[in-house]
Amino acid sequence: MALVLTEEQSMLRDSARGLISDKAPVSHLRSLRDAKDPTGFSKEFWHSFAEMGFAGLLVPEEFGGSGLGFMEAGVVMEEIGRTLMPSPFLATSVIAASALNRGGNAAQKSEYLPKISNGSLLATLAIDEGAKHRPLQISLQAVRAGNGFKLSGAKALVVDGHVADLFIVAARTAGSAGERDGLTLFLVNPKAKGVAIERTIMVDAHNAARIELANVEVNADNVLGEVDQGATLLDGVLDIGRGAVASEMVGLSEEVFNRTVEYLKNRKQFGKLIGEFQALQHRAAELYVDIEITRAATMKALQALDADVAKATSAVAVAKARAGTTATRAVQEGVQMHGGMGMTDQFDIGFFMKRARVCEELFGDANYHTAQLAKARGY
Protein backbone atom coordinates (compact mmCIF):
# COMPACT_ATOMS: atom_id res chain seq x y z
CA MET A 1 0.00 0.00 0.00
CA ALA A 2 1.49 3.30 -1.05
CA LEU A 3 1.93 5.95 1.65
CA VAL A 4 0.21 8.64 -0.37
CA LEU A 5 -3.45 9.60 -0.37
CA THR A 6 -5.59 8.03 -3.06
CA GLU A 7 -7.65 10.26 -5.29
CA GLU A 8 -10.77 9.56 -3.23
CA GLN A 9 -8.94 10.36 -0.01
CA SER A 10 -7.64 13.62 -1.45
CA MET A 11 -11.17 14.55 -2.42
CA LEU A 12 -12.38 13.75 1.06
CA ARG A 13 -9.60 15.92 2.50
CA ASP A 14 -10.47 18.80 0.21
CA SER A 15 -14.13 18.72 1.09
CA ALA A 16 -13.44 18.42 4.83
CA ARG A 17 -10.90 21.22 4.61
CA GLY A 18 -13.23 23.49 2.67
CA LEU A 19 -16.08 22.98 5.08
CA ILE A 20 -14.05 23.23 8.28
CA SER A 21 -11.90 26.20 7.34
CA ASP A 22 -14.99 28.02 6.16
CA LYS A 23 -17.37 27.24 9.01
CA ALA A 24 -15.06 26.48 11.94
CA PRO A 25 -11.77 28.39 11.76
CA VAL A 26 -9.86 29.00 15.00
CA SER A 27 -12.08 32.03 15.66
CA HIS A 28 -14.97 29.60 16.02
CA LEU A 29 -13.30 27.90 18.97
CA ARG A 30 -12.38 31.29 20.37
CA SER A 31 -15.96 32.54 20.37
CA LEU A 32 -17.29 29.35 21.95
CA ARG A 33 -14.67 29.74 24.65
CA ASP A 34 -15.36 33.41 25.24
CA ALA A 35 -19.11 32.81 25.42
CA LYS A 36 -18.60 29.90 27.81
CA ASP A 37 -20.89 28.03 25.45
CA PRO A 38 -22.80 25.36 27.37
CA THR A 39 -22.51 22.81 24.58
CA GLY A 40 -18.90 23.56 23.70
CA PHE A 41 -19.37 22.97 19.99
CA SER A 42 -21.81 24.08 17.32
CA LYS A 43 -24.76 21.70 17.11
CA GLU A 44 -25.84 23.28 13.89
CA PHE A 45 -22.48 22.70 12.31
CA TRP A 46 -22.36 19.15 13.63
CA HIS A 47 -25.63 18.42 11.84
CA SER A 48 -24.38 19.72 8.53
CA PHE A 49 -21.21 17.73 9.11
CA ALA A 50 -23.32 14.64 9.67
CA GLU A 51 -25.42 15.36 6.59
CA MET A 52 -22.27 15.29 4.52
CA GLY A 53 -21.56 11.82 5.82
CA PHE A 54 -18.71 12.62 8.18
CA ALA A 55 -20.39 11.56 11.42
CA GLY A 56 -20.96 8.04 10.11
CA LEU A 57 -17.70 7.76 8.25
CA LEU A 58 -16.64 4.58 10.06
CA VAL A 59 -20.15 3.15 10.43
CA PRO A 60 -20.93 0.29 8.03
CA GLU A 61 -23.34 1.09 5.22
CA GLU A 62 -26.01 -1.27 6.56
CA PHE A 63 -26.32 1.05 9.55
CA GLY A 64 -26.52 4.18 7.49
CA GLY A 65 -22.84 5.09 7.49
CA SER A 66 -20.25 5.36 4.72
CA GLY A 67 -18.23 2.31 5.78
CA LEU A 68 -14.89 4.00 5.19
CA GLY A 69 -11.60 3.19 6.91
CA PHE A 70 -9.28 4.61 9.54
CA MET A 71 -7.15 6.29 6.90
CA GLU A 72 -10.21 8.34 5.95
CA ALA A 73 -10.99 9.07 9.58
CA GLY A 74 -7.39 10.26 9.92
CA VAL A 75 -7.80 12.54 6.93
CA VAL A 76 -10.75 14.25 8.64
CA MET A 77 -8.98 14.39 12.03
CA GLU A 78 -6.06 16.13 10.41
CA GLU A 79 -8.34 18.85 9.09
CA ILE A 80 -9.95 19.18 12.50
CA GLY A 81 -6.44 19.66 13.87
CA ARG A 82 -5.75 22.51 11.48
CA THR A 83 -8.48 24.73 12.87
CA LEU A 84 -8.80 23.08 16.31
CA MET A 85 -12.49 22.65 15.58
CA PRO A 86 -14.28 21.36 18.65
CA SER A 87 -16.62 18.56 17.59
CA PRO A 88 -17.91 15.18 18.68
CA PHE A 89 -16.12 13.53 15.77
CA LEU A 90 -13.31 11.91 17.81
CA ALA A 91 -15.37 10.65 20.74
CA THR A 92 -18.52 9.70 18.87
CA SER A 93 -17.66 8.97 15.26
CA VAL A 94 -14.26 7.42 15.74
CA ILE A 95 -14.03 5.90 19.20
CA ALA A 96 -17.61 5.09 20.19
CA ALA A 97 -18.53 4.01 16.66
CA SER A 98 -15.54 1.67 16.59
CA ALA A 99 -16.31 0.28 20.04
CA LEU A 100 -19.90 -0.46 19.07
CA ASN A 101 -18.98 -1.77 15.67
CA ARG A 102 -16.28 -4.08 16.99
CA GLY A 103 -17.84 -5.14 20.28
CA GLY A 104 -21.57 -4.65 19.86
CA ASN A 105 -24.16 -7.37 19.34
CA ALA A 106 -26.78 -7.07 16.60
CA ALA A 107 -29.27 -5.27 18.81
CA GLN A 108 -26.73 -2.77 20.12
CA LYS A 109 -25.46 -2.02 16.65
CA SER A 110 -28.85 -1.44 15.15
CA GLU A 111 -29.91 0.70 18.06
CA TYR A 112 -26.92 3.03 18.20
CA LEU A 113 -24.97 3.04 14.94
CA PRO A 114 -27.67 4.59 12.75
CA LYS A 115 -28.04 7.41 15.29
CA ILE A 116 -24.32 8.02 15.26
CA SER A 117 -24.45 8.17 11.48
CA ASN A 118 -27.16 10.76 11.34
CA GLY A 119 -25.55 12.85 14.03
CA SER A 120 -28.38 12.49 16.55
CA LEU A 121 -26.48 10.50 19.18
CA LEU A 122 -23.32 11.57 20.97
CA ALA A 123 -21.32 8.88 22.69
CA THR A 124 -18.00 8.68 24.47
CA LEU A 125 -15.57 6.31 26.10
CA ALA A 126 -14.89 6.72 29.83
CA ILE A 127 -11.61 5.14 30.64
CA ASP A 128 -8.94 6.93 32.63
CA GLU A 129 -9.22 7.29 36.37
CA GLY A 130 -5.81 8.60 37.39
CA ALA A 131 -3.83 11.58 36.20
CA LYS A 132 -2.02 9.60 33.52
CA HIS A 133 -3.36 7.20 30.91
CA ARG A 134 -3.01 3.68 32.30
CA PRO A 135 -5.76 1.60 30.70
CA LEU A 136 -5.27 -1.45 32.87
CA GLN A 137 -5.30 0.56 36.10
CA ILE A 138 -9.08 0.51 36.22
CA SER A 139 -10.77 0.13 39.56
CA LEU A 140 -14.29 1.38 38.82
CA GLN A 141 -16.27 -1.59 40.11
CA ALA A 142 -19.12 -3.42 38.45
CA VAL A 143 -20.70 -5.96 40.76
CA ARG A 144 -23.36 -8.40 39.70
CA ALA A 145 -26.84 -7.53 40.92
CA GLY A 146 -29.80 -9.58 39.81
CA ASN A 147 -29.86 -9.80 36.02
CA GLY A 148 -27.40 -6.93 35.70
CA PHE A 149 -24.61 -4.99 37.39
CA LYS A 150 -24.12 -2.06 39.71
CA LEU A 151 -21.33 0.35 38.79
CA SER A 152 -19.43 2.51 41.24
CA GLY A 153 -16.37 4.66 40.77
CA ALA A 154 -15.06 7.71 38.95
CA LYS A 155 -13.56 8.67 35.60
CA ALA A 156 -11.57 11.69 34.53
CA LEU A 157 -11.08 13.30 31.15
CA VAL A 158 -14.24 11.90 29.60
CA VAL A 159 -14.24 13.66 26.25
CA ASP A 160 -17.63 15.31 25.57
CA GLY A 161 -18.75 13.81 28.88
CA HIS A 162 -21.20 16.60 29.72
CA VAL A 163 -23.06 16.45 26.40
CA ALA A 164 -22.94 12.74 25.61
CA ASP A 165 -26.10 10.65 25.28
CA LEU A 166 -24.21 7.45 25.91
CA PHE A 167 -21.19 6.49 27.98
CA ILE A 168 -19.07 3.48 27.23
CA VAL A 169 -17.60 2.79 30.64
CA ALA A 170 -14.62 0.56 31.25
CA ALA A 171 -15.13 -1.23 34.55
CA ARG A 172 -13.68 -4.02 36.58
CA THR A 173 -15.87 -7.10 36.95
CA ALA A 174 -13.03 -9.19 38.39
CA GLY A 175 -9.40 -8.95 39.41
CA SER A 176 -7.72 -5.81 40.59
CA ALA A 177 -6.20 -2.67 39.13
CA GLY A 178 -3.33 -3.44 36.79
CA GLU A 179 -4.62 -6.81 35.61
CA ARG A 180 -5.74 -7.51 32.07
CA ASP A 181 -8.39 -10.03 32.96
CA GLY A 182 -11.60 -8.87 34.53
CA LEU A 183 -12.29 -5.75 32.49
CA THR A 184 -15.71 -5.22 30.98
CA LEU A 185 -17.20 -2.42 28.88
CA PHE A 186 -20.70 -1.15 29.72
CA LEU A 187 -23.14 1.07 27.90
CA VAL A 188 -24.39 3.55 30.46
CA ASN A 189 -27.08 6.17 30.10
CA PRO A 190 -25.75 9.47 31.50
CA LYS A 191 -29.23 10.23 32.81
CA ALA A 192 -29.37 7.05 34.87
CA LYS A 193 -29.78 7.31 38.62
CA GLY A 194 -26.47 7.66 40.45
CA VAL A 195 -24.54 9.35 37.62
CA ALA A 196 -22.92 12.67 38.52
CA ILE A 197 -21.27 14.72 35.79
CA GLU A 198 -18.98 17.67 36.23
CA ARG A 199 -17.94 19.56 33.13
CA THR A 200 -14.25 20.28 33.51
CA ILE A 201 -13.37 23.45 31.65
CA MET A 202 -10.03 22.52 30.15
CA VAL A 203 -6.97 24.47 29.10
CA ASP A 204 -7.79 23.93 25.40
CA ALA A 205 -11.46 24.97 25.63
CA HIS A 206 -12.55 21.60 24.30
CA ASN A 207 -15.15 19.48 26.03
CA ALA A 208 -14.35 17.14 28.87
CA ALA A 209 -15.92 15.99 32.10
CA ARG A 210 -15.32 14.05 35.26
CA ILE A 211 -18.01 11.54 35.99
CA GLU A 212 -18.92 9.67 39.12
CA LEU A 213 -21.05 6.57 39.29
CA ALA A 214 -22.67 5.55 42.58
CA ASN A 215 -24.43 2.20 42.37
CA VAL A 216 -25.59 2.84 38.86
CA GLU A 217 -27.74 -0.02 37.69
CA VAL A 218 -27.31 -1.46 34.23
CA ASN A 219 -28.82 -4.66 32.91
CA ALA A 220 -27.04 -7.48 31.12
CA ASP A 221 -28.01 -6.14 27.70
CA ASN A 222 -25.73 -3.21 28.37
CA VAL A 223 -22.54 -5.23 28.38
CA LEU A 224 -20.48 -4.39 25.29
CA GLY A 225 -18.51 -7.43 24.23
CA GLU A 226 -17.85 -10.17 26.76
CA VAL A 227 -17.80 -9.96 30.52
CA ASP A 228 -14.27 -10.01 31.98
CA GLN A 229 -12.76 -10.07 28.49
CA GLY A 230 -12.93 -6.37 27.68
CA ALA A 231 -9.19 -5.72 27.52
CA THR A 232 -8.75 -6.88 23.95
CA LEU A 233 -11.72 -4.87 22.72
CA LEU A 234 -10.39 -1.89 24.63
CA ASP A 235 -6.90 -2.27 23.17
CA GLY A 236 -8.26 -2.08 19.65
CA VAL A 237 -10.57 0.84 20.34
CA LEU A 238 -7.82 2.76 22.11
CA ASP A 239 -5.40 2.14 19.26
CA ILE A 240 -7.99 3.49 16.83
CA GLY A 241 -8.37 6.56 19.04
CA ARG A 242 -4.62 6.99 19.23
CA GLY A 243 -4.26 6.83 15.48
CA ALA A 244 -6.97 9.47 15.17
CA VAL A 245 -5.40 11.76 17.77
CA ALA A 246 -2.01 11.37 16.09
CA SER A 247 -3.64 12.59 12.87
CA GLU A 248 -5.14 15.56 14.66
CA MET A 249 -1.68 16.36 15.99
CA VAL A 250 -0.16 16.13 12.52
CA GLY A 251 -2.73 18.63 11.27
CA LEU A 252 -2.19 20.88 14.25
CA SER A 253 1.60 20.73 13.93
CA GLU A 254 1.54 21.48 10.25
CA GLU A 255 -0.83 24.40 10.67
CA VAL A 256 1.15 26.00 13.47
CA PHE A 257 4.32 25.42 11.43
CA ASN A 258 2.86 27.03 8.31
CA ARG A 259 1.81 30.05 10.32
CA THR A 260 5.28 30.29 11.82
CA VAL A 261 7.02 30.10 8.45
CA GLU A 262 4.71 32.83 7.15
CA TYR A 263 5.68 34.97 10.11
CA LEU A 264 9.38 34.39 9.40
CA LYS A 265 8.78 35.70 5.91
CA ASN A 266 7.07 38.86 7.05
CA ARG A 267 8.44 40.03 10.38
CA LYS A 268 11.41 42.40 10.16
CA GLN A 269 14.09 43.05 12.79
CA PHE A 270 17.59 44.52 12.42
CA GLY A 271 16.56 45.70 8.98
CA LYS A 272 15.91 42.26 7.60
CA LEU A 273 13.31 39.56 7.58
CA ILE A 274 13.80 37.32 10.60
CA GLY A 275 13.54 34.36 8.20
CA GLU A 276 16.94 35.38 6.85
CA PHE A 277 18.61 34.45 10.13
CA GLN A 278 20.20 31.08 9.71
CA ALA A 279 19.64 30.14 13.33
CA LEU A 280 15.90 30.34 12.70
CA GLN A 281 16.09 28.82 9.23
CA HIS A 282 17.73 25.70 10.59
CA ARG A 283 15.25 25.31 13.39
CA ALA A 284 12.41 25.70 10.93
CA ALA A 285 14.00 23.14 8.62
CA GLU A 286 14.42 20.64 11.46
CA LEU A 287 10.81 21.05 12.38
CA TYR A 288 9.77 20.51 8.78
CA VAL A 289 11.64 17.21 8.74
CA ASP A 290 10.09 16.21 12.06
CA ILE A 291 6.61 16.86 10.73
CA GLU A 292 7.22 14.94 7.50
CA ILE A 293 8.51 11.95 9.41
CA THR A 294 5.60 12.08 11.81
CA ARG A 295 3.12 12.31 8.97
CA ALA A 296 4.58 9.19 7.37
CA ALA A 297 4.55 7.30 10.68
CA THR A 298 0.92 8.27 11.22
CA MET A 299 -0.13 7.17 7.74
CA LYS A 300 1.67 3.91 8.37
CA ALA A 301 -0.28 3.42 11.61
CA LEU A 302 -3.61 4.16 9.95
CA GLN A 303 -2.84 1.71 7.17
CA ALA A 304 -1.91 -0.89 9.77
CA LEU A 305 -5.21 -0.28 11.56
CA ASP A 306 -7.09 -0.66 8.30
CA ALA A 307 -5.27 -3.92 7.58
CA ASP A 308 -5.77 -5.46 11.03
CA VAL A 309 -6.48 -3.54 14.22
CA ALA A 310 -5.08 -6.31 16.39
CA LYS A 311 -1.69 -6.14 14.71
CA ALA A 312 -1.35 -2.37 14.59
CA THR A 313 -0.17 -1.75 18.15
CA SER A 314 3.50 -1.08 17.48
CA ALA A 315 2.83 1.10 14.47
CA VAL A 316 0.29 3.07 16.50
CA ALA A 317 2.74 3.46 19.39
CA VAL A 318 5.34 4.85 17.00
CA ALA A 319 2.83 7.30 15.53
CA LYS A 320 1.41 8.54 18.82
CA ALA A 321 4.86 8.90 20.36
CA ARG A 322 6.20 10.78 17.37
CA ALA A 323 3.10 12.94 17.09
CA GLY A 324 3.41 13.95 20.73
CA THR A 325 7.05 14.92 20.44
CA THR A 326 6.61 16.73 17.16
CA ALA A 327 3.49 18.64 18.15
CA THR A 328 5.15 19.75 21.37
CA ARG A 329 8.12 21.02 19.45
CA ALA A 330 5.96 22.65 16.78
CA VAL A 331 3.88 24.67 19.22
CA GLN A 332 6.86 25.68 21.31
CA GLU A 333 8.80 26.89 18.30
CA GLY A 334 5.63 28.55 17.06
CA VAL A 335 5.26 30.63 20.20
CA GLN A 336 8.99 31.35 20.46
CA MET A 337 9.40 32.49 16.87
CA HIS A 338 6.40 34.78 17.15
CA GLY A 339 8.11 36.55 20.02
CA GLY A 340 5.83 38.60 22.25
CA MET A 341 2.97 38.17 19.80
CA GLY A 342 3.07 34.46 20.47
CA MET A 343 2.28 35.05 24.12
CA THR A 344 -0.86 37.09 23.53
CA ASP A 345 -4.31 35.63 23.79
CA GLN A 346 -5.39 37.82 20.92
CA PHE A 347 -3.15 35.77 18.63
CA ASP A 348 -4.18 32.21 17.68
CA ILE A 349 -0.88 30.44 18.25
CA GLY A 350 -1.53 29.83 21.94
CA PHE A 351 -4.67 27.87 21.09
CA PHE A 352 -2.49 25.35 19.26
CA MET A 353 -0.15 25.05 22.20
CA LYS A 354 -3.04 24.31 24.54
CA ARG A 355 -4.66 21.75 22.28
CA ALA A 356 -1.33 19.99 21.70
CA ARG A 357 -0.91 19.56 25.44
CA VAL A 358 -4.32 17.91 25.73
CA CYS A 359 -3.76 15.67 22.69
CA GLU A 360 -0.47 14.62 24.20
CA GLU A 361 -2.21 13.35 27.34
CA LEU A 362 -5.10 11.72 25.49
CA PHE A 363 -4.67 7.93 25.33
CA GLY A 364 -1.03 7.97 26.37
CA ASP A 365 1.74 10.50 25.97
CA ALA A 366 5.03 10.10 24.10
CA ASN A 367 6.75 8.53 27.09
CA TYR A 368 3.96 6.01 27.53
CA HIS A 369 4.04 4.91 23.91
CA THR A 370 7.80 4.87 23.70
CA ALA A 371 7.88 2.53 26.69
CA GLN A 372 5.13 0.42 25.09
CA LEU A 373 7.31 -0.04 22.03
CA ALA A 374 10.27 -1.10 24.18
CA LYS A 375 8.05 -3.63 25.90
CA ALA A 376 6.72 -4.99 22.62
CA ARG A 377 10.28 -5.38 21.42
CA GLY A 378 11.26 -7.28 24.53
CA TYR A 379 13.79 -5.05 26.32
Partner 1 sequence: MSESENADLEQFRSETRAWLEANCPPEMRKPATSDTDVFWGGRNAKFASEPQRIWFERMRDKGWTVPDWPKEYGGGGLSAAEHKVLRSEMAKMGARPPLSSFGIWMLGPALLKYGNEAQKKEHLPKIAAGLIRWCQGYSEPNAGSDLASLQTRAESDGNDFVITGSKIWTSYANYADWIFCLVRTDPTAKKHDGISFILFDMTSKGVTTKPILLISGYSPFCETFFDGVRVPKSHVVGTVNRGWDVAKYLLQHERAMISGMGERGVGRPLGQIAADSVGTDAQGKLDDAMLRGQIATFDVDEAALAACAERAVDLAKAGQAHPAFSSAMKYYGTELNKRRYEILMSAGGVDALEWESERSRQGARPRAWLRTKANSIEGGTSEVMLGIVAKRILDLPGA
Q: List contacts with partner 1 (CB under 8 A).
A: 2-4, 261, 264-265, 272-273, 275-276, 278, 281-282, 284-286, 288-289, 292-297, 299-300, 314-315, 317-319, 321-322, 369-371, 373-375, 377-379
State the distance between the two ends of the chain, measured CA to CA, in whole angstroms.
30
Tell me the torsion sign for CA atoms 29, 30, 33, 34: negative
242 vs 322 by CB, closer to partner 1? 322
Beta strands (DSSP E) in the chain are 123-126, 141-145, 148-159, 166-172, 183-188, 195-199, 208-219, 223-224, 268-269, 272-273
Distance of closest approach, residue 4 Cβ to partner 1, in angstroms: 5
28 vs 300 by CB, closer to partner 1? 300
72 vs 290 by CB, closer to partner 1? 290
Cα–Cα dist 279/57, whole Å: 44
Distance of closest approach, residue 124 Cβ to partner 1, in angstroms: 29
191 vs 377 by CB, closer to partner 1? 377
177 vs 373 by CB, closer to partner 1? 373
Using CB atoms within 10 Å of the CB of residue 85, give its burial: 0 to 12 exposed, 13 to 18 middle, 19+ buried: buried
Distance of closest approach, residue 201 Cβ to partner 1, in angstroms: 33
Distance of closest approach, residue 314 Cβ to partner 1, in angstroms: 8
214 vs 374 by CB, closer to partner 1? 374
Alpha helices in 129-229 (DSSP H): none
284: left (phi over 0), alpha (psi -120 to 50) or beta: alpha
Distance of closest approach, residue 23 Cβ to partner 1, in angstroms: 28
Using CB atoms within 10 Å of the CB of residue 33, give its burial: 0 to 12 exposed, 13 to 18 middle, 19+ buried: middle
**Using N-to-C axis directions, what is the helix angle for 70-83 and 26-34, rounded to 10°?**
70
Tell me the torsion sign for CA atoms 273, 276, 277, 279: positive
Distance of closest approach, residue 378 Cβ to partner 1, in angstroms: 7
307 vs 371 by CB, closer to partner 1? 371
Cα–Cα dist 207/204, whole Å: 9
Cα–Cα dist 64/52, whole Å: 12
Residue type, 282: H
137 vs 152 by CB, closer to partner 1? 137
Composition of the chain by helix, strand, coil, percent to 5: 55, 15, 30
Tell me the three state secondary structure of residue 191. coil
Distance of closest approach, residue 214 Cβ to partner 1, in angstroms: 36
Distance of closest approach, residue 161 Cβ to partner 1, in angstroms: 31
The H-or-E segment that residue 118 falls in is: none
Distance of closest approach, residue 379 Cβ to partner 1, in angstroms: 3
HSE-up (13 A, CA, CB side) for residue 364 = 29
192 vs 296 by CB, closer to partner 1? 296
Distance of closest approach, residue 268 Cβ to partner 1, in angstroms: 10
Inter-CA distances, 339 with 72, 226, 272, 327, 355, Å: 36, 54, 16, 19, 20
136 vs 202 by CB, closer to partner 1? 136
Tell me the three state secondary structure of residue 6. coil
Residue type, 295: R
